[in-house]
Amino acid sequence: MRKTHSSLVLLLAAALCLLIGPTIASEAESNFNDDDDGVVEAVQDDTPALATDENGEELVYESPKYDPKQFHFVDHFDDIEKSQKLWVKSQAKKDDIAEEIAKYDGVWSWEAPQRIVWKNDIGLVLKSKAKHAAIASKLLKPFTFKEDKPLIVQYEVTLQEGQECGGAYIKLLSANKATDDLTKFNDKTPYTIMFGPDKCGNDIKMHFIFRHVNPINGSITEKHCKKPKDRLEEPFKDKLPHLYTLIVRPDNTFEIRVDHNIINEGSLLSEFTPPVNPPREIDDPEDKKPEDWDEREKIPDPTAQKPEDWDDDAPPQIPDPSAVMPDDWLEEEPEMIPDPSAQKPDDWDVDMDGEWEAPLVDNPVCEKVSGCGKWKAPLIANKEYKGKWRAPMIDNPNYRGKWSPRKIPNPDFFEDLTPFKMTPIGAVGIELWSMSNEILFDNIIITDDLDVAIDYAAKTFDLKRKYIDKESDTFLNKVMTYGKDNPWSWRIALVLIVTPLAFFFYRLMSGKKDTTATDKKTDAVQPDDKPSENKEDSTEESSPKTKKSDLEVKEGADAADNEEDSGKDSTEDVDGGASEEKETEETTSNKPRKRRVRKDAS
C-alpha cells in the first residue's frame, strides 16, 4: 500500500516536471534555432524518411556481386529461382518418435522480411513452428581441410517473432554417402560442424560443436565448445538481423563473432568437452583400497580420561538460588481472566458452536503488582556447565594420507594434434525444431578467406543494420522536431499518457481497500472457499501482488505500450498525434473495464 502510494506521488511529480521542462527547453531551443529555421523545415518534410549514409547518399541494397571462386558456398536468396534450385527440402522422417510428429514437414519460404528494408532483399524463412524442418544444399565445392586455409562460416538470422524455445543453427554436413541424397536429411545425418544460436527458456547457447574421429578405431564423438563469457540475449528478443561468424584456423584455434564482435575464442585442443585427446594415464580399475588403510588425519587421544568432577548432564542455565519472591507477588491470582465485558452474541448456537466462553484478557489486578501466578526464580548461567566430555584430538600415528588408485597407461590413449583436419564438408543444412515461426536466414556463406566474408557482410548485413539504425534515428528526430515546433503537443501527450496511469494506480489502491472490505463481509457467511478464488480472479489487487515493486508495474505498462507500438508501427507512424490518440483510447477504455469484471467476480 505504502509503495503504491509513493509511486503515485512520484508519477505525478514526474508528470509535472515533464510538463514544465519542455516549455523551458523548447523556448531555449527555438531562440537558438531562430537563424537556421530552414534546417528544421527540411526535417519536417512530410515525405517518408529514407535512411542515408554519412554523405547523404540514400542507402540502397543490391544483391552482392561476387566471384563464386572465392566461396565454397554462397547464397543471398535474392534470386529466388536460382536459390530454390540449390536447396533441397527434406522428406525424411525421424525414426525414434511417434509417427504423427516424425515427418520433416516444416514450411520453408523465400520472401522479404516482415520488417521490409528493401523489397529485393529476400531470405529463407522457416514459416512453421512446432514442426520438424530440414533443408540443405550441396556446397559449390567441398571444404576438405587439406589446404592450409581457415574455414569461415557466416550467416544472418532474424528471429522475426523472437524466440522462446528453439534453435537457428546450421549444420555443415560431412561429405559422404549419407549426404548424397539431401531429401533424406534428418537429425542423424552426419555433420562435421554445428554452429549457431539456440535457446530454450533461460538456457541460451551459441553452439560450436565438431565431430571428432578417433584416429585409433574411427569412432566419432561430439566436442562441445566452452560457453562464451557473456550471455547472448539480444538476438532472441530484438527481432533484428544478427550476423554469426565462425572461424576455424589450421593452427587449431577458433573464433566466434556475433555482429562482428568476438564473443568466444580459443583452441580446439583445450576449450572443448570432452577434450579431443584422452588422458595419457588413468586410474587402475583393478586397484582397491587396502582394508587397513587409515585415512583419519586426527583421532581422539586414547589416553585422555574424563576428569572426576566433569558432569556431562549439568544444564547450561539454572534458577537463581539467591532470588526471592517479591512481597507483593500474588501467587493465588491468575494472569489471565475471562473478559468481564464480553457478551455472548445473539446468534450463538450452542449446538453448532459449542458452549460460549468469554475471551481471556490480562488480569487488571496483576498490573499494579510485581506479578501473578506461580512464581519462578529467574534463570542464570550455570557455573558447573561443561557440556559433553570429549577426548582432545591428536595426530593419528597410523595416518597414511588420502588413498587413490595407482595410475596406469590409458589403453585408449591417442594424441591428435591437428583436430582442425576434420571430416570434409559436402553440404550445408538447417535442421530445426522451434517454438517460434518466421525465422529468417540470409546470406549464408562458407569461404576460406576472412576478408571475403567481411566484404560480403559489408554489402549485406552491415548495410541493412545501418539502414535500420538510421531509420529509427530519423523517427526519433521527427518526433523531437514535432514536439519542438508544437510545444503544447508534449504536454497534451503527457497528460494523455500520465492521467490514465495515475487513474490506474489510484484504482489499484482503492481497489485494494474494496477487496479487504468485501473479504471481511463475505468471511462471515462462507469462511472457507473465499480467499483462494479471490486470488485467481484479481491477481493485480490481491495483497501478494500489491507488493510487486513499482518498477515491475511500470515495466508492465511499458511492455504493453511496446507491444502495441513497436516495430512496424513506430516507424510508420511518423505522425505523433495519431499514435497518442490510439494509446489514450486504449488505456482509458481498457483498465476500468477490466476492473469492473474483477469486482463482479469477487
Cβ proximity to ligand NAG: between 31 and 217 the closer is 217
For the CB of residue 85, give the shortest distance to ligand NAG in the complex, in Å: 39
**Is the sign of the CA dihedral 29, 30, 36, 37 positive or negative?**
positive
Per CB under 6 A, 217 contacts ligand NAG: yes
263-278 b/e (C-beta count within 10 Å ≥ 16 → b): ebeeebbebbeeebeb
The residue among 432, 466, 547, 581 whose CA lies nearest residue 126 is 432
Q: CB nearer to ligand NAG: give 228 or 278.
A: 278
Nearer to ligand NAG, 198 or 416 (CB): 416
575 alpha carbon, distance to own chain's centre: 34
Q: Under the criterion CB under 6 A, does residue 214 sit at the interface with ligand NAG? A: yes
- Cell numbers for 435, please give them: 517454438
Beta bridge pairs of residue 111:
123
- Going 340 to 346 to 350 to 353, the CA torsion angle's sign is negative
Query: Which residue, 64 or 278, has its beta carbon nearer to ligand NAG?
Result: 278
Of 178 and 243, the one with the shorter C-beta distance to ligand NAG is 178
Stretches 214-222, 228-236, 260-268, 427-435: which one binds ligand NAG (CB under 6 A)? 214-222
Nearer Cβ to ligand NAG (21/409): 409
Cβ neighbour number for residue 150 with a 10 Å cutoff: 21
CB of 188 to ligand NAG, least distance (A): 17
- Residue among 290 and 411 whose Cβ is closer to ligand NAG: 411
* Least distance in angstroms from the C-beta of 284 to ligand NAG: 17
Q: How far is the CB of 289 from ligand NAG (least distance, A)?
A: 26
Q: Which residue among 55, 219, 305, 322 contacts ligand NAG (CB under 6 A)? A: 219
- The nearest distance, CB 396 to ligand NAG, in angstroms, is 41
Q: Does 523 bind ligand NAG (CB under 6 A)?
A: no
Site membership for ligand NAG, residue 526 (CB under 6 A): no
222 touches ligand NAG (CB under 6 A): no
Which residue type occupies 347?
D
Q: Which is nearer to ligand NAG, 240 or 276 (CB)?
A: 276
Whats the size of the chain, residue-wise? 602
Considering the complex, what minimum distance in angstroms separates the CB of residue 220 from ligand NAG? 9
Q: Which is nearer to ligand NAG, 398 or 410 (CB)?
A: 410
Which of 87, 125, 79, 81 is closest to 106 using CA atoms? 125
Helices marked H in 122-233: none
Beta strands of 112-175 (E only): which ranges?
A: 123-126, 132-143, 151-159, 165-167, 170-174
Q: How far is the CB of 177 from ligand NAG (least distance, A)?
A: 19
Work out whether 303 is an interface residue with ligand NAG (CB under 6 A): no
Region class of 266: left (phi > 0), else alpha (psi between -120 and 50), else beta: left
Binding residue count for ligand NAG, defined by CB under 6 A = 5
Q: Count CA atoms closer than 13 A to 45's CA, side-chain side.
A: 9
CA atoms within 13 A on the CB side of 161: 15
Q: Which of 353, 336, 484, 453 is nearest to 29 (CA)?
A: 484
412 near ligand NAG, rule: CB under 6 A: yes
Find where cell 528478443 sits. 237
228, 256 contact by CB (below 8 A): yes
From residue 273 to residue 292, what is the string marking binding to ligand NAG with x (rule CB under 6 A)?
Answer: -----x--------------
* Nearest alpha-carbon partner for 18 in 551, 497, 474, 486: 497
Minimum Å gap between C-beta 411 and ligand NAG is 8
Locate all alpha helices (DSSP H) within 441-575, ordered by sequence: 450-457, 463-485, 487-525, 530-537, 543-546, 550-565, 568-572
Tell me, what DSSP letter sits at residue 5? H
Task: Draw the binding track, 158-197, toward ligand NAG (x: CB under 6 A; -: no contact).
Answer: ----------------------------------------
Q: Are 278 and 291 in contact (CB under 8 A)?
A: no
Residue nearer to ligand NAG on the CB measure, 214 or 472? 214
Interface stretch with ligand NAG, choices 82-90, 212-220, 424-432, 529-537 (CB under 6 A): 212-220
CB 214, min distance to ligand NAG, A = 5
Minimum gap (Å) between residue 152 Cβ and ligand NAG: 31
Q: Are 138 and 155 in contact (CB under 8 A)?
A: no
Q: Which stretch binds ligand NAG (CB under 6 A): 181-189, 213-221, 246-254, 586-594?
A: 213-221
Q: How far is the CB of 168 from ligand NAG (least distance, A)?
A: 32
Residue closer to ligand NAG, measured from CB, 224 or 535:
224
Asked if 482 and 40 touch (Cβ cutoff 8 Å), the reply is no
Q: Cβ contacts of residue 484 below 8 Å, gap of 6+? A: 26, 29, 30, 33, 40
What's the CA gap between 497 and 493, in Å, rounded? 6
Report in angstroms how near the CB of residue 185 gets to ligand NAG at its nearest: 25
Q: Which residue is nearest to ligand NAG (CB)?
A: 412
Nearer to ligand NAG, 18 or 282 (CB): 282
Q: Residue 413 CB, nearest distance to ligand NAG (Å)?
A: 8
Q: Which of 549, 560, 548, 553 lies closest to 590, judged by CA?
A: 560
Identify the three-state secondary structure at position 174.
Answer: strand
Nearer to ligand NAG, 49 or 282 (CB): 282
* Whether the bond into 409 is cis, omega within 30 of 0: no
Distance of closest approach, residue 216 Cβ to ligand NAG, in angstroms: 6
The whole-angstrom separation of Cα 301 and Cα 48 is 91
Q: Near ligand NAG by CB under 6 A, which window of 182-190, 211-219, 341-349, 428-436? A: 211-219
Report the interface residues with ligand NAG, using CB under 6 A.
Answer: 214, 217, 219, 278, 412
